[in-house]
Amino acid sequence: MTEKLNIGIILGSTREGRVSEQVGEWAKQIADQRNDATYEIVDIAEYNLPFLGTTDGTEPGLAKWTEKINSLDAFVFVVAEYNHGLPAALKNALDVAAPTLWHNKAAGIMSYGSTGGARAAEHLRGILGELFVADVRTHPTFSLFTDFENFSTFKPADLHFENMTSLFDQVNSWGKALKAIRN
Ligand X SMILES: Cc1cc2nc3c(=O)[nH]c(=O)nc-3n(C[C@H](O)[C@H](O)[C@H](O)COP(=O)(O)O)c2cc1C
Q: Which residues bind ligand X (CB under 6 A)?
A: 13, 15, 18-20, 80-84, 113-115
Instruction: Give the shortest CB-37-to-ligand X separation in angstroms.
Output: 24
Q: How far is the CB of 22 from ligand X (least distance, A)?
A: 8
CB 155 within 8 A of CB 144: no
Task: Select 11 or 37, whichever has its Cβ closest to ligand X.
Answer: 11
**Cβ nearer to ligand X, comparing 82 with 132:** 82
Which residue, 5 or 120, has its beta carbon nearer to ligand X? 120
Nearer CB in complex with ligand X: 19/44: 19
Residues contacting residue 134 through CB under 8 Å, at least 6 positions apart = 104, 105, 106, 107, 128, 174, 178
Least distance in angstroms from the C-beta of 102 to ligand X: 22
> 8 forms bridges with which residues in the sheet?
40, 75
Exposed/middle/buried for residue 29 (C-beta within 10 Å: 0-12, 13-18, 19+): exposed
Query: Least distance (Å) from ligand X to the CB of residue 181?
Result: 33
Alpha-carbon span 18 to 35, nearest angstrom: 29
